[in-house]
Amino acid sequence: MRYKGGGLTYYGYPPMPCGRPISNRLELTPEQFATLNQIASSRSEELRRVQRAKVFLAAADGKPQREIAASAGLSVSAVARMLRKALQIGPMMALDDLRRSGRPAVIGVEARTWVKELACTPPKELSDGPTQALWSMDTLAAYVRKHASEKPFGSELAKASKSTIWSILDSDEIKPHRIRYYLEKKDPDFSVKCREVLLLYKRIEMELVFRNTLGNSSQPNGAVFVSYDEKPGIQAIGNVHPDRNPVDGNGFTRRDYEYKRHGTLSLLAGIDLISGKVHSLIRERHKSTDFIDFLKLIDAIYPEDRVIFMVLDNHTIHTSRETRAYLDTRKGRFQFVFTPKHASWLNLIEAFFSKMARVSLRGLRVNSKDELRSHIERWVAECNEDPVPFRWKWKMEEVHELINSVI
């Protein structure tokens, strides 16, 4: 049969109307609104689901189709089809493609295995692979189509689309376009050192219970526990042009993109794990002599009859010849408990440095390194006015689970 319309003649069935205005406004329940909002803001959902969720939310808000199409980067007819489908079967079902009619293409085991093998082979290891470090679905699908004819099962993949390739890989959760990092276990004594640090934290818990029960004065010869590390490379960055403060109608600080560097400073800091007080030195860099100066600082603070336990990493300045020579002059005064390699998260001072970066250094602009030094000193002094002791919260078995997940 022939159908005429718009100056064109159609043979067979009449065409589906495209872009026809939708008279019914899309109504959403609170549950549907919450789910669509979550999908629309997701970074892991499929792009088509995210697009459709945004279209449905905009339509429910009463926006016209042309505005929705312009905002979503789609044609008006595409938006109309999405909304018509949502009105017919509901917005949640309309997020996904319906099963298409006709017999689905059959892709055998050999063809699927070949596609998975390709996906697990970096492109650079193929003689004619694309110049990419990782596959994308587009390039992998193109490579499959190009070389399918060389295989006995070539006809099964001759027209393979990226969605077909994705479905083959998704069955085994193969994602060649993504990178997940791991940490090589390089310290042969990792578990032993980890346990020593955790046992020290357990001892601190017992010490606190003992002191709270009998009072601080009950243990005049009690040990001292300090978590120590360096924070190098704190940048003294200054503005070239002054900041503009918030005003009515423009409620955020405006800052020029251009800036200038005045140099860097290193913070050597240790936190008393009983009192929460922070001891610090600020230097141009951190060498063995600077570390020794820090040891002398805390040596002068605590009574002579107390052993100072220090949790610290295995940095060369902590075990250098100069450091060992100084420790020989103060035998029995310091007891170092080293964290394993790549395990800075075991050291509680890192929580203090994290807070410092988020609270004190975030967005900071200074005119000199001296101003940066003064700023850090004031912030440490503020922390010591109301010190907050950092406590280890994880259990031993939870630490082992974490270790196994990253190696």
pLDDT digits (tens, 9 = 90+) for 91-115: 999 998 877 666 666 889 999 999 9
Residues 123, 206, single domain; the answer is no
Rg (CA), the chain: 32
Q: Are residues 58 and 91 in the same domain?
A: yes
Final residue belonging to a domain, choices 67, 95, 123: 95
Same domain, yes or no: 241 and 281: yes
Query: Is residue 4 scored above 70 in pLDDT?
Result: no
In a domain, 177, yes or no: no
Same domain for 217 and 362, yes or no, is yes
Q: Considering the domain boundaries, does residue 176 fall inside one?
A: no
Residue 274 lies in a domain: yes
Question: In terms of domains, do 7 and 139 share one?
Answer: no
Domain-embedded: residue 397 = yes
If asked whether residues 164 and 40 sit together in one domain, one would say no
Give the pLDDT confidence score for residue 252 in this predicted structure: 87
The last residue of one of the domains, among 95, 129, 152, is 95
For residues 165 and 51, state if they share a domain.
no
Same domain, yes or no: 65 and 194: no
* pTM exceeds 0.85: no
Q: Is residue 291 part of a domain?
A: yes
Q: Report yes or no on 241 lying in a domain.
A: yes
* 28 pLDDT more than 60: yes
| pLDDT at residue 290 tops 90 | yes
Q: Angle, to 10 degrees, between the axis of helix 369-385 and the axis of helix 349-359? A: 120
Domain range enclosing 292? 190-245+254-406
Q: Is residue 316 part of a domain?
A: yes
* Same domain for 230 and 377: yes
Q: Looking at residues 186-192, what average pLDDT do you find?
A: 81
Specify the number of domains making up the chain: 3
CB neighbour burial string for 85-121, b if at least 16 within 10 angstroms, e if fewer: bbbeeebbebbeeeeeeeeeeebeeebbebbbebbee
Lowest mean pLDDT among 2-11, 29-38, 184-193: 2-11
Beta-sheet strands, E only, within 199-329: 224-239, 259-272, 278-283, 308-312
Same domain flag for 213 and 135: no
Longest pairwise C-alpha distance within the chain = 104
Considering the domain architecture, whether residues 137 and 199 belong to the same structural domain is answered as no
259 in any annotated domain? yes
Instruction: List pLDDT tens digits, range 322-371.
Output: 999 999 999 999 999 999 988 888 899 999 999 999 999 999 999 999 99
One domain, residues 299 and 391: yes
